[in-house]
Amino acid sequence: MLTSGQINLVWLKRDLRLRDHEALFNASKSGMPVLLIYIIEPILVDDPHYDIRHWRFICQSLQDMNQQLSQFNSQLLIVHGEVTSVFEQLNNTLPIKHIYSHQEIGLANTFERDKAVKRWCDTNAVIWSESTYGAVIRGLTQRHDWDKNWQKRMRHPCFDRPLEKINFVQSEHLVFQQQNTELPEQWQTPNPQFQAGGEKRAWFTMHHFFTDRGKDYAYSISSPTASRKACSRLSPYLAWGNISLRQVYQFTLGNWQKKGWRRSLVAFTSRLHWHCHFVQKFESEIEMQVRPVNRAYENYQYDESDRGKANVEAWKQGQTGFPLIDACMRCLHQTGYLNFRMRSMLVSFLCHQLDADWRSGVTHLARLFLDFEPGIHYPQFHMQAGITGINLIRLYNPIKQSQEKDPEGVFIRRWCPELAELPNELLHQPWQLTLMEQQMYDIKLGSDYPLPIIDFEISAKAARDKLWAFQKRDDVQAEGRRILKRHTLPNRPKNI
């Protein structure tokens, strides 16, 4: 019921859940009417990092929340528009006393939007309270007590309030005069190749992981095929906030004594820790969205020739002539998921073997990753691209990776069906096929499947020589010391 002239507004962004939701918890404490709002912003709809796969996942998440809220005769307010304009219009209908939200470790455009929201709140005498994202500390300049803070945040009781005790604004009061408030039809059309969004799906996925398939996590994370089952598959749910990192961590602790799981649980919890570690890097230096975190790499020269640009386009489409590279890219196009090792290999191949500027591929992969999260995407991309000056340069050999991680060719045959008839000894290096063998296996190289766009051995040697020589430069080393001081954890190896 609307018992007063004002409401508390919970502004949802990448926190699309109703449990362990600190903003919702705080908004409900006073007993004032609470309205949850999600705003479909033009700056994000038009942003090159976003794809229909993300909006479909968001749409499914919102629908899940609305289904839960319906039993309380309430619903989310979902509107299209620029945030301050939406707030202005809403404030004229349902006066806002207090806006609650989680801090968003987002792109530069959302940071600028948040500054505009702060100005609007100050002008309109509206209080805006932001809750911490995970264990990330806003404005942090060093990491001395960061581990302690992480443990404290992860072990803190979840911010849960029984939904029946929250005074949600009732549906009949949601009279909001704005056109185009419906979700586009294509966002609402499911695609079974992609994981579905929603709080319920997040919890189902976590329970399923800890019931059986996660037992082989530590042994399967590098395989492009086995990882699809053995990995948690929680990354999109964490990225869009269907489940919190704290909920996952505490659920993991509750399963710590499972017989035969020890190694996998240790590996899994370490990655939960790394999650916030990398997001903290981005929060502390968001400029890495547009420039190398090690500023000396602004002077690094890439291949900007027409041939180089054509190679990048071949990489984007999965047409490089290297089967595992192409299978990985095609898999991403079709499913939005790929395990970490294969993601790293894709970036390494782009930036090292193709000698391409990291910026030529960073938004492309963001569009493909269903679990795109800026705070993880950019620091990881910089690390794999070798532009930090402090990390080990990773030059993945796609032939060796193919032979080791997909020895029977299951993954390659799934995503490069034109190679399916080749025997294993030829599958990983199809360019070795003779003309007679091409006739035998009914495949024509350069037509049915591309010839390699580069000579791998030559490009790998050139990349090694170029990268390691550049890393020894004085300006790179000086920047490396600055990065270590600001971004690394005391007594931790520099390669994480």
The pLDDT tens digits for 6-47 are 999 999 999 999 999 999 999 999 999 999 999 999 999 999
| Alpha helices in 369-455, H assignment, sequence order | 374-385, 398-405, 410-415, 424-427, 435-440
Inform me whether the pLDDT recorded for 252 exceeds 60. Answer: yes
Please answer whether residues 163 and 27 qualify as being in contact, where contact means their C-beta atoms are separated by less than 8 angstroms: no
Q: 3-state DSSP helix/strand/coil percent for the chain, to nearest 5?
A: 55, 5, 40
Q: Is the pLDDT of residue 258 over 50?
A: yes
- With respect to residue 472, please indicate whether it lies within any of the assigned structural domains: yes
| 59 within some domain | yes
pLDDT recorded at residue 125: 97
User: Once rounded to an integer, what is the mean pLDDT over residues 54-78?
Assistant: 95
CATH number at residue 362: 1.10.579.10
Q: Which two tokens stand for residue 423?
A: 């025997």
Is residue 431 located within the same domain as residue 472? yes
Could you tell me the CA-to-CA distances from 267 to 229, 235, 420, 462 in Å, in that order?
16, 15, 34, 35
Does position 171 have pLDDT exceeding 80, yes or no? no
Average pLDDT over residues 336-353: 97
Q: Are residues 244 and 320 in the same domain?
A: no
In the listed set 80, 104, 131, which residue is the last one of a domain according to the structure?
Answer: 131
Indicate the pTM of the whole model: 0.95
Cβ atoms of 10 and 101 within 8 Å: the answer is yes
Do 271 and 382 share a domain, yes or no?
no
Q: Indicate the number of domains in the chain.
A: 3
Say if residue 344 is in the same domain as residue 248: no
Q: What's the domain range around 343?
A: 287-487
CA quadruple 118, 120, 123, 126: dihedral positive or negative?
negative
The whole-number average pLDDT for the span 347-353 is: 97
CB atoms within 10 A of CB 492: 12
Same domain, 346 and 275: no
- The arithmetic mean of pLDDT across residues 343-360, rounded, is 97
Of 90, 115, 131, which residue constitutes the final position of a domain?
131
Q: Which residues contact 232 (CB under 8 A, 6 or more apart)?
A: 205, 206, 209, 214, 217, 248, 268
Within a domain: residue 222?
Answer: yes
